[in-house]
Structure 1
Amino acid sequence: MKNIWIADGHCDSIGDYAAGKRNLKETAKFGHWDLTRAKQANLGLQFLAAYIESEYKPFQAAWRGLELLEAALRFIDHNSSEVFLVRTQEDAAQLGRTNKLGLLINIEGGEILGENIFMLDLIFRLGVRSIGLTWNERNAIGNGVGESEGSGGLSSFGFQVIERMNQLGMVIDVSHLNEAGFWDVLRHSERPVIASHSCAKALCGHRRNLTDHQLRALGDKKGLVGVNFCEDFLSDTGKATIDDVVRHICHIAEVAGVDAVGFGSDFDGIETTPEGLENVGTFPYLVEKLSQCGFNQNEIARICYGNYVRFLSDVLM
């Protein structure tokens, strides 16, 4: 579709780059994301997630997070003719207006901070602009969705983190956070927040998905949901197609408003992909599906990139 470019709120590809498995520039025999296919799909913004694996927690989490951050910065330096680091409102304003792909670094796991606010300021200086507060487990910030039902939300340190992220202009990512923590964040944050790779619980009961109440609250706060392409999040059968992704997009748009929904593929963080969305190069098929199901061109532009640009202009400084 003419003049449509793509913003994607989550991919985990930097782990392969850090391990030396792929250079993420050319297409390899495995993997979902690389620059070659991203350019073919007209990708203009990619949240690049540095996922801190459970095996490094808690004692080596900061070390692992910094190792992945260094890899992300090295990837950007090595491909500076094709990508740029998104850090400010001015950077966000350039998205879609240049032939370079904007990369926004997300640390997936607040464990990188330990229990030290100064680490937040440090990684901000190094270019990080988003943090997934938890993965599925508990950390010093709060509880992930993998903790027992009824477990508490944010800790006192967690509230300090939210306050400081607001002051710095950092994206607060509530994907993986438990429901109590979700509500703590929405009540406490002065800026909009994102669930970068989640889906609708009304359509699939996975614990990582969001209830209509949560979706509506995100919309009311000018937040954003990036629809995840994980088959387990899309269908209770564990098998899904591109039509299931569209189904979740439609539901979130109906519940929270079209301004609250975007893409959060989770490429290279999921083992299998929906039929029709096998890699980043297939995004144009999803754009066409949105047109077929009744969204007009203005709405499609907002879902594909406009909502992310507006969200970043509200959060970054």
Structure 2
Amino acid sequence: MRAILLASSALLLGLAAPAAARTPEQVAAAALAAAPVWDGHNDIPMQLRDRHKNVLAGFDFQDTTDSADPAKGQIALQTDLKRLRAGKVGAQFWSVYVPASLSDTQAVQATIEQIDVARRLIGQNSAELQYCEDSACVERAWKQGKIASLLGMEGGHSMGGSLAVLRQLHALGARYMTLTHSRNNAWADSATDKPVHGGLNALGRDVVREMQRLGMLVDLSHVSEEAMLDALEVAKAPVIFSHSNALAVSSHPRNVPDSALDKLKANGGIVMVNFYPLFVVEQTRQWNMARAAERARLEALHLGKPAATVTAALAAWEQANPQPLGTVADVANHLDYIAKRIGADHVGLGADLDGIDNTVVGLEDASKYPALFVELARRGWSQADLEKLASRNMMRVLKAAEAYAATQKGQPPIENPVSF
């Protein structure tokens, strides 16, 4: 009897004992198994244009680690199928970016060419990539074990000032548009240009309305604070920042100020944080300004001398003053800040890989996303919140945009007059 009582007591104590705590690595792995990464911005299509003139013959997307060409000043590509898999990426917005310096007609043509090359790249790798235009397709792709591949335009110059062109680019597959890039356009101010519209003008507001009528996500990365606030005032569905960070953490004008974060919470949108040191790390921004000042000093000092003199002197300065790159922890600081201010429902990831020449240490390529999830789990992020960060927030936003567009089926297209 005594033996039975002892055994029963041991059993009861065992049942009452708490389950063993999971390590940060286990929490991160569980989150990524339940919700793969959905990245908001990758520039492989731009690299295909710059390096290969959009000719895919001979381009192997399985492994691009040996793609550096120092003679041309080209670093190795940061993305390939092998590393996307290692990074637990399940969905990707491929950017069909074209330079903001192009004329309207050139920009429209080039954007169509970039949509074409992105879709051909996806098609040539259909065993692992699934071209998608809606949330239902993304869900099907995940069930099939494929990486859902969607397209996003970067910069309103891509539509050439025409709502008709915007509609046709949407028909070709574009599912978001960043309202500006590095320069203002005819209807919106950029974060890195002198303001001329005070945010969005009347056409800019109509662009937001028409995009949401179509179900196209409005992307506020690259735009001025005033344009952010104007767009959020007009928006009836959630918007995104496809690759931006928090201004309060690093004060680059490309980042999102608290004024916009607070309105974004009410809007239901998300900020997809990127990995570019210049936007992530305040010390890097300060270094960049110091480098610009040193370059100007050297140009004045060596006026009339060969350009190579300045180049060599600047290289010596850079060697003596190496650029700070930051670490995974610095990216986590941005996510922590945004989540604490407006909630974990409003964060995502938009690494900007292959659109940047360096990253913070530890997030160098598409295989490295899990390291960020481990860092956040170490800081106390729950599995549920990590799943939101990975892809659940982006899925919610896309479904909300689609649901709003469904309510607008009876509304006529917004028109603007042609310019020639």
Sort the TM-score into its range (normalised by shorter chain).
over 0.9
Q: What's the offset of the Cα at 1:142? A: 0.7
SS at match of 2:143: coil
Q: What's the offset of the Cα at 1:155? A: 2.1
* Residue equivalent to 2:410: none
2:156 corresponds to 1:110: yes
Q: What's the offset of the Cα at 1:314? A: 0.8
Provide the C-alpha distance between the structure 2 equivalents of 1:183 and 1:55, rounded to a whole number of angstroms.
25
Asked if the contact 2:123/2:131 (under 8 Å) is kept, the reply is no
Q: Deviations over 1:72-102 (max 9, x none)?
A: 1111111122111221232243353331101
Which among 75, 80, 90 is matched to residue 126 of structure 2?
Answer: 80
2:326 corresponds to 1:289: no
Provide the C-alpha distance between the structure 1 equivalents of 2:134 and 2:229, rounded to a whole number of angstroms.
27
2:347 corresponds to 1:316: no
**Greater strand share, structure number:** 1
Asked if the contact 1:152/1:181 (under 8 Å) is kept, the reply is yes
* Residue equivalent to 1:162: 208
Q: What's the offset of the Cα at 1:59? A: 4.5
SS at match of 2:166: helix
Q: What's the offset of the Cα at 1:190? A: 0.9
Asked if the contact 2:243/2:352 (under 8 Å) is kept, the reply is yes
SS at match of 2:200: coil
Which among 99, 118, 134 is matched to residue 53 of structure 1?
Answer: 99
Q: What's the offset of the Cα at 1:292? A: 0.6
* Residue equivalent to 1:241: 327
Q: Would the alpha carbon gap of residues 201 and 41 (structure 1) be closer, same or farther in structure 2, given more than 3 Å must change?
A: same
Asked if the contact 1:92/1:313 (under 8 Å) is kept, the reply is no
Q: What's the offset of the Cα at 1:231? A: 0.2
Q: Deviations over 1:253-299 (max 9, x none)?
A: 00110000011101111111100001010111111111111001111
Q: What amino acid does structure 2 have at the position aligned with 1:241?
A: T
Within 5 Å, which residues of 2 pair with 1:139-218? 139-148=185-194, 151-218=197-264
Which among 307, 317, 342 is matched to residue 256 of structure 1?
Answer: 342
My pick for the range that moved more, 274-283 or 111-120, is: 111-120
* Residue equivalent to 1:8: 39
Percent identity of equivalent pairs: 31
Provide the C-alpha distance between the structure 2 equivalents of 1:104 and 1:60, rounded to a whole number of angstroms.
23
Provide the C-alpha distance between the structure 2 equivalents of 1:193 and 1:266, rounded to a whole number of angstroms.
18
Provide the C-alpha distance between the structure 2 equivalents of 1:54 and 1:119, rounded to a whole number of angstroms.
17
Q: What amino acid does structure 1 have at the position aligned with 2:213?
A: Q
Which among 59, 65, 80 is matched to residue 28 of structure 1?
Answer: 65
Provide the C-alpha distance between the structure 2 equivalents of 1:100 and 1:36, rounded to a whole number of angstroms.
13
2:270 corresponds to 1:224: yes
| TM-score after normalising by structure 2 | 0.73
Q: What's the offset of the Cα at 1:55? A: 3.8
Give the gaps of 5 or more residues in structure 2.
1-28, 53-58, 67-75, 285-324, 404-420
Asked if the contact 1:136/1:146 (under 8 Å) is kept, the reply is yes
Q: Let me know the Cα RMSD of the aligned residues.
A: 1.6
Give the gaps of 5 or more residues in structure 1.
none
Provide the C-alpha distance between the structure 1 equivalents of 2:129 and 2:44, rounded to a whole number of angstroms.
15
SS at match of 1:107: strand
Provide the C-alpha distance between the structure 1 equivalents of 2:135 and 2:366, rounded to a whole number of angstroms.
26
**Greater helix share, structure number:** 2
Q: What's the offset of the Cα at 1:316? A: 2.8
Q: What amino acid does structure 1 have at the position aligned with 2:348?
A: G
SS at match of 1:45: strand
> Post-superposition, which runs of at least 4 consecutive aligned residues in structure 1 deviate over 6 A?
none
Q: What's the offset of the Cα at 1:174? A: 0.5
Provide the C-alpha distance between the structure 2 equivalents of 1:156 and 1:92, rounded to a whole number of angstroms.
34
SS at match of 1:38: helix
Q: What's the offset of the Cα at 1:227? A: 0.5
| TM-score after normalising by structure 1 | 0.95
My pick for the range that moved more, 168-177 or 88-97, is: 88-97
Q: What amino acid does structure 1 have at the position aligned with 2:394?
A: Y
The structure that has the greater radius of gyration is 2
Aligned residues: 317
Q: What amino acid does structure 1 have at the position aligned with 2:43?
A: D
Asked if the contact 2:225/2:257 (under 8 Å) is kept, the reply is no
Q: What amino acid does structure 2 have at the position aligned with 1:197?
A: H
* Residue equivalent to 2:303: none
Q: Would the alpha carbon gap of residues 95 and 189 (structure 1) be closer, same or farther in structure 2, given more than 3 Å must change?
A: farther
* Residue equivalent to 2:174: 128
